[in-house]
Structure 1
Amino acid sequence: MASAPAHGAAADARQAVLEPFQHSAALSLGVELELQLINTNDYDLAPYSAEMLRLMAKIPLPGAVVPEMTSSMIEVSTGVCNSSAQVLGELSQIRDALVRCADKLNIAIAGGGTHPFQQWHEQRIYDRPRFHELSQLYGYLSKQFTIFGQHVHIGCPDADSALLMLHRMSRYIPHFIALSASSPFVQGQDTQFDSARLNSVFAFPMSGRAPYTLSWDEFGAWFAKTTRTGVVKSMKDFYWDIRPKPEYGTIEIRVFDTPLTVERAAALAGYVQALASWLLHEQPFMPLEDDYMVYTYNRFQACRFGLDAVYVDPVSGEHMALRDHIVMTMKQIDAHSLAVGAAPGIDLLRLSADMGANDARWLRERQAKERLLAEVSRQAAERFRGGRG
């Protein structure tokens, strides 16, 4: 969860400075997963993050395990990785430790972009000053932000390359949404969205897309104007679908729902890496500000219909099935998939696109069979721990 300005932000806006863009290895990866803590009685969310953090702190692991806005969620992250295979290795190690600690507490861990039937008003804000500040600013939206996403960082060689990558990558935001969608249920109801999670993100004032600038100097000037208004104090205040992370030397893609398995999470990271390799080395097109004329429509289609969505090409205006655009893109980047070692995971995602089979579909199929969302949550938790579910 990004930090947000307090009511008196305008007073110290003058102190806001855009951080210099740090060096990172081009195409390096980092992955964050926000995960559900579930009790094993009725499979509702359970406010056990403090206990989980205490147990996890005793286990040497790559990356980090940290609290999130409410006490029924936890965030894990990898270290800096060179490949999706390394991402999978680190996430698997963290997952296994999480499962062991959860078993000690008689709770379960699950992926998924939303919990199917939790009630937002029952959630507790995690006891940390920043989270309380956010709660005071955003009111009930803070508790409604008990949603669960995957963030993927991709290393960029320099700041201008990062902005170019960000705007090129924006054409593929619908791919990321549809392939990761795992939030069809909210508060006991089928929303008819494959990714309802993103509707909660869009409620925040600084969500959406980054401004169209292709140089870090231009971006710095835009940032200076914005901070002078007192609306924001740092880059953390932006909830953009993709945002630059100058302190890491990366761009961060934030539209993924948390998948139900770490294997799918790693495959999605591999897809980002292969796509970034293609964009960086072949530079197949220049991003245009006009790309964003269809951006919101394409994003909505992917959230609403998942892999059955329509995709509008921002240049030609051609309409095509999103799954066909995904498969076409995966063929275009085949050589890069092999080069970065992401081909096995991308092959699984390609099959998923061909079949229209994302995690949202899996959850709906379980509910159609069981007619009980608690059982769906139980099976999702079993699937996350490596069981068949």
Structure 2
Amino acid sequence: MTGNALTVGVEEEFFLVGPDGALVNQGPEAVAGVTDVDLKPELLRCQVESATGIQRYAGEIRDELAALRARLAKGAAEQDALLIAAGTAPHRQEDISVIGPGTRYHQIARHVGPFIFSGTTCGCHVHVGVEDTASALRVANFIRPWLPALLAVSGNSAFHDGSDTGYASARHVLWNRWPSAGPPPYVDSPDEYEEIVNGLLATGAAMDRKMVYWDVRPSEAQPTVEVRVFDVMGSVEEAAFMAVLVRLLVSDALRSTEPPPRVPTEIIRAAQWRAAKSGRAASVPDPATGALREATAIVGDLVSAHTTELRGSGELDFVRATMTWLDHHGDGAHRQREAFESGGVDEVVRMLARQTDSAQASLP
């Protein structure tokens, strides 16, 4: 199956903050009454989430993400709040212990305990349509070695609790405290997958099947494979670019006649830590050879290998332009640090809000 035949959907999570950078609890109110697009509250009341419809190409994905962000920014403004796209909330937070609406969210909070409030994060999830669970697991096995490179080029959470964390993706570090998060194991069959999931449920590491939070997994809600390794990204162009990369990888996985390499989960986890620490500057294991290479070079090779396909779908210019822009301006974490140099954490928040509010413009 070629990448052009695959369908794609993107979910994004956001924070709502006040003018002082403090998280505010008007997430449910910001999306109240919206029925024509998929906007909804998240786990905590200081968060909201959007989801695109079924798309195929970068331009469609970008345009819908921009429209969804504009709707969310408008809803936030009506609550005297700002919408920001960052993997972690930059400012020190006094109290964010207000659970969003919905019985399941309250059950999760009781199940997990207080740490749920100390590391609130926002991610971006890319779904690609597949035929069945067996296909999703085949894709997940293929994408496992790519997770460090994908994480490295998408870091957007340098600041947390008022300080520079020293990481490009502090979200990754915080999120991996969940016992059911992180890179998935290599799974040989749907039966083995069920055995592992049932084991996670039996131990209490996951309260239900949706809490199997692996960085790539079969979706429980729809016939897709879901890649969850990304921070929510500052611009819609970055999010659309990552969606294209995932679609290309899924296409390669479905066409491949060779079994994916059985990279130990511990090695992938360690490489992801390296990626979270250094972002686009990270060298991580090349999925083809295992040798350390710059993550940007690994991604560049993926794009080069699909030049003909991307030209045929009309996406090549977009992909190349986004890569060039990132080379010049850096990832979200780099841009956060540049903003900090000019005005501290307050300027980081202002920059994030400007960036999100201008979602319908070109790259910031």
Whether these two folds match at TM > 0.5 is yes
Give runs of aligned pairs for residues 266-281 of structure 1, distance below 5 A. 266-281=240-255
Q: CA deviation at 1:356?
A: 7.5
What CA distance in whole angstroms lies between the structure 2 residues aligned with 1:228 and 1:376? Answer: 42
Q: Is this contact kept in 1: 2:14–2:232, CA < 8 A?
A: yes
Unpaired runs of at least 5, structure 1: 1-24
Task: Name which of 47, 62, 71 aligns with 1:73.
Answer: 47
Task: Name which of 36, 39, 48 aligns with 2:18.
Answer: 39
The residue type equivalent to 1:256 in the other structure is F
- The alignment status of 1:27 with 2:27, answered yes or no, reads no
Q: 1:323 to 1:236 in 2, by over 3 A?
A: same
Q: CA deviation at 1:174?
A: 1.8
Task: Name which of 352, 356, 363 aligns with 1:380.
Answer: 352
The residue type equivalent to 2:275 in the other structure is A
Aligned partner of 1:346 in structure 2 is 319
Aligned partner of 1:329 in structure 2 is 302
What CA distance in whole angstroms lies between the structure 1 residues aligned with 2:9 and 2:23? Answer: 27
Q: Compute the RMSD of aligned alpha carbons.
A: 2.4
Q: CA deviation at 1:267?
A: 1.8
Q: Is this contact kept in 2: 1:34–1:76, CA < 8 A?
A: yes
Q: CA deviation at 1:315?
A: 6.1
- The alignment status of 1:151 with 2:129, answered yes or no, reads no
Q: 1:125 to 1:230 in 2, by over 3 A?
A: closer
- The alignment status of 1:112 with 2:77, answered yes or no, reads no
Q: CA deviation at 1:197?
A: 0.4
Aligned partner of 1:304 in structure 2 is 277
Aligned partner of 2:267 in structure 1 is 294
Report the TM-score when normalising by structure 2.
0.90
Q: CA deviation at 1:226?
A: 4.7
What CA distance in whole angstroms lies between the structure 2 residues aligned with 1:345 and 1:170? Answer: 26
Aligned partner of 1:19 in structure 2 is none
Q: Tell me whether 195-204 or 225-234 shows the greater mean CA deviation.
A: 225-234
Q: What SS is found at the alignment partner of 1:81?
A: coil
Q: CA deviation at 1:152?
A: 0.6
Q: Is this contact kept in 1: 2:149–2:284, CA < 8 A?
A: no
Q: 1:141 to 1:161 in 2, by over 3 A?
A: same
Give runs of aligned pairs for residues 162-177 of structure 1, distance below 5 A. 162-177=136-151
- The alignment status of 1:97 with 2:75, answered yes or no, reads no
Aligned partner of 1:193 in structure 2 is 167
- The alignment status of 1:86 with 2:64, answered yes or no, reads no
Q: CA deviation at 1:196?
A: 0.3
What CA distance in whole angstroms lies between the structure 2 residues aligned with 1:357 and 1:228? Answer: 43
Aligned partner of 2:30 in structure 1 is 52
Aligned residues: 358
Q: Is this contact kept in 2: 1:326–1:350, CA < 8 A?
A: no
The residue type equivalent to 2:22 in the other structure is D
Q: CA deviation at 1:346?
A: 2.3
Higher-Rg structure is: 1
Q: Is this contact kept in 2: 1:109–1:385, CA < 8 A?
A: yes
What CA distance in whole angstroms lies between the structure 2 residues aligned with 1:284 and 1:342? Answer: 26
Q: Is this contact kept in 1: 2:23–2:96, CA < 8 A?
A: no
Report the TM-score when normalising by structure 1.
0.84
Aligned partner of 1:240 in structure 2 is 214
Q: What SS is found at the alignment partner of 1:152?
A: strand
The residue type equivalent to 1:179 in the other structure is V
Unpaired runs of at least 5, structure 2: none
Q: Is this contact kept in 1: 2:126–2:228, CA < 8 A?
A: yes
What CA distance in whole angstroms lies between the structure 2 residues aligned with 1:231 and 1:48? Answer: 30
Q: CA deviation at 1:126?
A: 1.9
Q: CA deviation at 1:128?
A: 2.8
Q: CA deviation at 1:27?
A: 2.1
Q: 1:51 to 1:345 in 2, by over 3 A?
A: same
The residue type equivalent to 2:117 in the other structure is K
Q: Tell me whether 332-341 or 147-156 shows the greater mean CA deviation.
A: 332-341
Q: CA deviation at 1:146?
A: 2.0
